[in-house]
Amino acid sequence: MRNLLYICFIGLIALSCDDGDIFEVSLEFDDVALETCGNLVFFKEKDSPPETLSIQISNRTFEQMLAVDVNNIFSETYMFSASTNSFNYRTYSSIPDNVFCNDVPPANLNITSDAESTSGQADLTTILIEDDNDGIPAEFEDLNGNGNLDDDDTDLDGIPNYLDVDDDGDNVYTALEEVNYTAIDGFSNALDTDNDGVPNYLDNDDDGDTVLTRDEENITQDNNPQNDVLDPNVGADYLNFDVNTSVPATEYKEHIIQQQYTITIDIQNIQLPNLTQQAFSFGELTASSTRLGEPVFN
């Protein structure tokens, strides 16, 4: 897992009561940064008026919250108390930079009120969606139409097409084989060099010369048929019917799978001075990462 994750946090919170003895808090936060500062801290801040909401989770890291199960889900509940996880609403005379993530508090930090809930809970759920980002929507990689994306594996390398950056196993990435998908035209404009009815991105012999595309590396054997060009007037050998020398490949090129995590946080039963809130959404954030696929060469 990468040590640094770039996270976008967008949320809207409205806490209100109609009783005249109860204050009203209305907080709107856009493009709020989320950072790890020792113990895990989720926070939202605004400048006008200067105020923050924060949740501090003890004994957890972002990486642990991204450790999803076999169903690509992570879910935990964190109880607020005076000695462990905390929920705070603070107001300030003004908010300096890095209120939460400085080892030494900013010199100009002036907290005018600090209300902490010692009860309630935060329900956190992480959902992971993986994709190959090859220009084909995942739902259209269900070749047998049974609704199960995991059993569609054109090249039988053990990676289903919706996660496979090289669907046909020809060592030319699908995204580079002119899929040309659009919502209007679908796949009607996909490149089919040999006009055999199978578009290049699913064809392991793109030029129809009986030599597998991945084996047409006549110049450099680097798992990249695109840079082997004997006739510059025609292009790469794997697209040139008249070049049919076979240099058998021995492995696939690197497969990188894109990962998109969505984390949602729901708060229940917090109690602050003059305010009790049974339930509200603290917001949603996304984090992006990658992992290395392990295709089985065949």
> Are 22 and 120 in a shared domain?
yes
Number of folded domains that form the chain: 2
Peptide bond just before 273 cis, omega within 30 deg = no
Helices (H), strands (E): how many in the chain? Answer: 1, 11
> Are 144 and 121 in a shared domain?
no
Assign 13 a pLDDT band (cuts: 50, 70, 90).
very low
Assign 245 a pLDDT band (cuts: 50, 70, 90).
very high
In a domain, 269, yes or no: yes
For the segment 147-163, the average pLDDT, to the nearest whole number, is 98
- Residue 281's pLDDT is what? 85
Where are the strands (E) in the chain, listed by range? 7-15, 25-32, 36-37, 39-47, 50-57, 73-79, 86-92, 111-117, 121-131, 255-272, 275-293
In a domain, 121, yes or no: yes
> Are 35 and 124 in a shared domain?
yes
Each residue's pLDDT tens digit, 107-151: 778 999 999 998 999 999 999 999 999 999 999 999 999 999 999
Range 268-271, long-range pairs (CB < 8 A, 24+ positions): 268/120, 268/121, 268/122, 268/123, 269/119, 269/120, 269/121, 270/80, 270/87, 270/117, 270/119, 270/120, 271/117, 271/118, 271/119, 271/120
> Are 154 and 210 in a shared domain?
yes
Each residue's pLDDT tens digit, 29-39: 445 545 545 56
Each residue's pLDDT tens digit, 59-106: 888 889 999 999 999 999 999 998 889 999 999 998 877 787 777 777
In a domain, 297, yes or no: no
The pTM for the full model equals: 0.81
β-bridge partners, 101: none
Sheet of strand 25-32: strand arrangement: 25-32, 7-15, 275-293, 255-272, 121-131, 73-79
- Residue 167's pLDDT is what? 99
Q: Which domain holds residue 68?
A: 7-129+258-291
- Residue 39's pLDDT is what? 62
pLDDT for residue 20 is more than 50: no
> Are 78 and 175 in a shared domain?
no
Integer angstrom CA distances of residue 206 from 172, 180, 220, 234: 10, 16, 19, 14
β-bridge partners, 77: 123
Give the residue, 256 or 25, on which the prediction is more confident. 256
pLDDT for residue 21 is more than 60: no
> Are 244 and 186 in a shared domain?
yes
In a domain, 83, yes or no: yes
Nearest to 87 by CA among 228, 274, 268: 268
> Are 231 and 263 in a shared domain?
no
pLDDT for residue 7 is more than 50: no
> Are 19 and 79 in a shared domain?
yes
Residues 260 and 285 sit within 8 Å (Cβ to Cβ):
no
In a domain, 153, yes or no: yes
Integer angstrom CA distances of residue 185 from 179, 180, 190: 11, 9, 10
In a domain, 296, yes or no: no
In a domain, 92, yes or no: yes
> Are 120 and 193 in a shared domain?
no
> Are 285 and 252 in a shared domain?
no
> Are 73 and 188 in a shared domain?
no
Residue 212 CB contacts under 8 Å (≥ 6 apart), including other chains: 170, 204, 205, 246, 249
- Segment holding 65, helix H or strand E: helix 62-65
pLDDT for residue 26 is more than 70: no
> Are 144 and 125 in a shared domain?
no
In a domain, 232, yes or no: yes
The phi and psi torsions of 138 (rounded to 5 degrees) equal: -55, -40
